[in-house]
Amino acid sequence: METIEAAGNQTLPAKQSNLLKQTLTEVTQPFKDLFKSSQAMWGLNISYLLEGLTYFGVLSLLAIYFNNYAGLNDIDADRMVGVLTAGITLSMLFLGATVDLIGLRKSFLIALSLMLVGRTLLALAPDISQTKGMWSGVHSIAMFGILWIVLGYGIYQPAAYAGVKQLTNKKTAAMGYAMLYAIMNLGGFLPGIISPPVRQNFGMLSVFWVYVALTIVGIIVVAAVITKKAMKQATANLSQEKQKEVEEEKEMTLKEKARYYLKNFPLKDLRFLFFIFILIPVQTLFAHNWLTLPQYFSRAFSGLVSNNFEFFVNLNPILVFILTPMIAALTSNRNAYKMIIAGTFVMASPTFILALGPSLYTAFAYLIIMTIGEAMWQPRFLQWVAEIAPKGMTGIYMGIGQFPWFLTKVVTSIYAGWFLMHYCPANVPPAQMHTETMWLIYGFIAILSPIGLLLARKWMIKGFKTKAE
């Protein structure tokens, strides 16, 4: 008996050690595999980092830009931001197939060039005209600039995720999507560090010129790193099955591709449609990141928070950058649909914390818990859409999959400004605001997504198996 107990006591530490090693391997191996990625994949990630910095940097200031330089009120300013964000998603619906037709490198160069024109016009508008109001000189020039950004980003975003699918294999795909999402959010955090000192010392327009310069750097990175030679080398390093898919896509004529697109168009699948539309309520929280949080942190708080509101608005992206790869590595073998249910619930629930009132504690609790939920489900959704797409159709699937996001941006931008004017108005002491009511209503909206996903789980899981799983 003593011998058996002794043997058991000796094996327990060994089992614990093996379990720890296995866990560490599961977490670190995906990072090791991704680190060995091709030059083209590294170029894609660097480009996406710069674009995340530039896009979110402009976005966090855009409503205030329209307030200050175009003289628009909160309702109209938020609607103009909605034109940009919703326009991008609508543009992806029509331009998402560009990467499938002309390739990754050309798509990136065209997209970034279009966005360079648009961002230059935004920075120039207040210097070209000093008139204010709807459709004044400033407003008209700025909206013309937004048009170019919309066209560029409609090509860029689907191309990026199509590029991940093209440049990764089964071992690196999950982490590839997660890292791309995390890198974009790292870029989204950096404006919180760059923007405040530039804005406070040189003015808001100087910040916009910094983003113009970064767009030029992004073009140079794509031209220098994602070369034709790098793309050929990346393709050569993939498995034979992957190479065969790439070659078959290249051999199809435009007429054959058009016929193939019509045959496999994603809108024919009711489960696909339900899935992407039921996510609209929880996705309103993403829209509030630029439609509500900048004004909320600058008006409902004072001192450090209000003076550095860009930092707090962009805290979510750095948390996403840290958490997303870790969560992806730990949950890569979990059922995608169940992860999305859990993630949307975690993301929606902390909105009710903000209903307790503005304080540093509620603000940080909301940002941290919401980010954990976002890291749980958002990359899995993007991977899911890309993986279920038939060969050569990743771009259009990404475009269609983002269409409800277009509706989210439109609808949220319509009512967000009204809520700000009534519950978090400008030039009113924080004690006289009623932000608690605003966030309580937003919480009830967001929680509809996990409830809907949960109620439909049997229908969805039984009838729709994805390649991602």
CA distance 429 to 302: 10
Q: How confident is the model at residue 435 (pLDDT cuts 50, 70, 90)?
A: very high
Q: Give 204-262 pLDDT, tens digit per residue.
A: 999 999 999 999 999 999 999 999 888 888 777 666 555 555 555 556 666 666 676 67
Q: What is the mean pLDDT of residues 13-35?
A: 56
Q: Do 445 and 284 touch, CB atoms closer than 8 A?
A: yes
Q: Domain coordinates of the chain in residue numbers?
A: 30-463
- Check residue 298 and give its pLDDT: 86
- Check residue 245 and give its pLDDT: 57
CA distance 200 to 276: 41
Residue 468: is its pLDDT beyond 50?
Answer: no
Residue 2: is its pLDDT beyond 50?
Answer: no
- Check residue 248 and give its pLDDT: 55
Who's near 103: CB < 8 A, 6+ residues apart?
A: 231
Take residue 440 and report the two structure tokens written for it.
């309580």
Residue 401: is its pLDDT beyond 80?
Answer: no
The count of C-alpha atoms lying within 13 angstroms of the C-alpha of 373, restricted to the half-sphere facing its C-beta, is 25
The count of C-alpha atoms lying within 13 angstroms of the C-alpha of 125, restricted to the half-sphere facing its C-beta, is 28
Q: Do 157 and 88 touch, CB atoms closer than 8 A?
A: yes
| Highest mean pLDDT out of 25-29, 98-102, 177-181, 284-288 | 284-288
Q: What letter represents residue 420's amino acid?
A: L
Strands (DSSP E) contained in 2-90 are none
Residue 27: is its pLDDT beyond 70?
Answer: no
Q: What is the mean pLDDT of residues 425-441?
A: 90
Percent of all residues in the chain with a pLDDT value above 70, rounded to a whole number? 80
Q: Do 78 and 420 touch, CB atoms closer than 8 A?
A: yes
Who's near 30: CB < 8 A, 6+ residues apart?
A: 171, 172, 174, 175, 325, 328, 329, 332
Determine which of 81-85, 306-310, 324-328, 464-468 has the lowest per-residue pLDDT on average.
464-468
- Check residue 250 and give its pLDDT: 57
Q: How confident is the model at residue 98 (pLDDT cuts 50, 70, 90)?
A: confident
Average pLDDT score over the chain: 82
Q: How confident is the model at residue 469 (pLDDT cuts 50, 70, 90)?
A: very low
Which CATH class for the 30-463 domain?
A: mainly alpha
Q: Do 189 and 317 touch, CB atoms closer than 8 A?
A: yes
Take residue 341 and report the two structure tokens written for it.
């249910």
The closest alpha carbon to 408, from 278, 269, 274, 273, belongs to 278
- Check residue 147 and give its pLDDT: 96
Q: What is the mean pLDDT of residues 59-63?
A: 89
Q: Give 315-365 pLDDT, tens digit per residue.
A: 887 788 788 777 877 777 777 788 889 999 999 999 999 999 988 889 889
Q: How confident is the model at residue 129 (pLDDT cuts 50, 70, 90)?
A: confident
Residue 100: is its pLDDT beyond 50?
Answer: yes
- Check residue 459 and give its pLDDT: 83
Q: Give 259-279 pLDDT, tens digit per residue.
A: 766 776 667 777 778 888 899
Left, alpha or beta for 464 (phi > 0: left; psi -120 to 50: alpha)? beta
- Check residue 451 and give its pLDDT: 96
